[in-house]
Structures are given as C-alpha cells and as structure tokens.
Amino acid sequence: MSETPAPPPRSRLALWLPLVLFAGLFALFVHGLLRPADTNVVSAFVGNPLPAFDLPAATPARPGLATAAFRTGKPKLLNIFASWCVPCAAEAPQLDTLARAGVEIDGVAIHDRPDDLARFLATNGNPYAAIGRDDMRKVQLAIGSSGVPETFVIDGHGVIRYQHIGDIRPDDVPMLLDRLKSAGVQ
C-alpha cells in the first residue's frame, strides 16, 4: 500500500502574512481617525486678480458692482450672499461689526429676487456700499466661490488675498480685520 505524500510544510511567512497585513491596515485606519482634519481650503484664486465683471444693481438702494470698484487703492471685502441663505442671515451681525469698524463691504447677491433681497436687508441690515446682482452665478463661479456665504479680502489693486468659506462668526472678525490690514500693505 502506498502512502499519501505529506503536504509541503508552509513557510512561517505565509502563516503570518495575513495577520501582518490586517494589523498594518488597522493601524493606518486608527491613525486616520485620530489625526485632526485640516479644515482649511486653499483657493487657487488667492493671489490672482478679480476677473472682469460689471453687475447691475441688485436693489435700488445701492449701486451695482464692477471690477473697477476694487482698484481704488483701498482693500475691501467682497461678500457673496443670498436672501434665501440661512447662514447669510447668521453672519449679518458680524458684517455690521466690520462695517462699523470702517471696512468697506461690497456684495454680490446670488440668484435673488428684488423683493426677497429688500426684505432680507430690512431684516438683517445693509452693510454694503454696493450690491451687484448675479442671477446666473457667473461672477460667483469665476472667482472660485462654490456656495453662499463666502467672503473675499480684495487688496486695493483688485487682487484676491483671502477667501473665507462659510459664514463669518464673531471670532472671525479680528482675523478678517488683520487680513484687510495686511492686504493694504501689498
């Protein structure tokens, strides 16, 4: 009677390889969970001039807005907002604080109806020197804004120096004032 040949001995590496791979993947997963997320979004538009635009007035109470308004030698804020945007209403007190501090703020109203915009400004205040109407979101997209609200620090030569994504919160006000100050030194 013949004996069945014994299976070849397995190498130690073949026995431990699945466990080592699992441990490595598990360690990578835990590292990703424990590492704090970087919430800063670096815009490709920062450092570039504003694209050319000329928007009609969004409300009779303020003039429209054109690129030339940002080439006066003085830094400004450009706020992208809409009456239908809840975070835009939440940031209104901070915009008022900035305006009272002497900051010139121009706005671009996105896809807004004049009556809705008038109600929004009457309820939340109007810190804007000028408000352009961007019904087709062309300017919004041309400057790299993907939503509302967003605020840009523009230096006196019309160059984007900072992009703030989301609503301005009370603790953002000093930072924006500092960024405006440094934009004036360019």
CB 165 within 8 A of CB 91: no
Indicate whether 48 belongs to any domain: no
Indicate whether 45 belongs to any domain: no
Q: What is the pLDDT of residue 165?
A: 93
Read off the tokens for 156: 């006196």
CATH number, domain containing residue 113: 3.40.30.10
What radius of gyration do the chain's Cα atoms show?
Answer: 27
Indicate whether 170 belongs to any domain: yes
pLDDT tens-place string over residues 161-178: 999 999 999 999 999 999
Show the CA angle centred on residue 22, arms to residues 21 and 28, nearest 5°: 90
pLDDT tens-place string over residues 41-59: 566 789 999 999 999 999 9
Number of structural domains (the chain) is 1
Indicate whether 142 belongs to any domain: yes
Q: What is the mean pLDDT of the chain?
A: 89
The boundaries of the domain holding residue 58 are 54-183
CA 139 to chain centre: 15
CA atoms within 13 A on the CB side of 185: 5
Beta bridge partners of 134: 110
Predicted structure pTM score = 0.78
Q: Is the pLDDT of residue 123 over 90?
A: yes
Cα 23 to Cα 12, 13, 113, distances in angstroms: 17, 15, 57
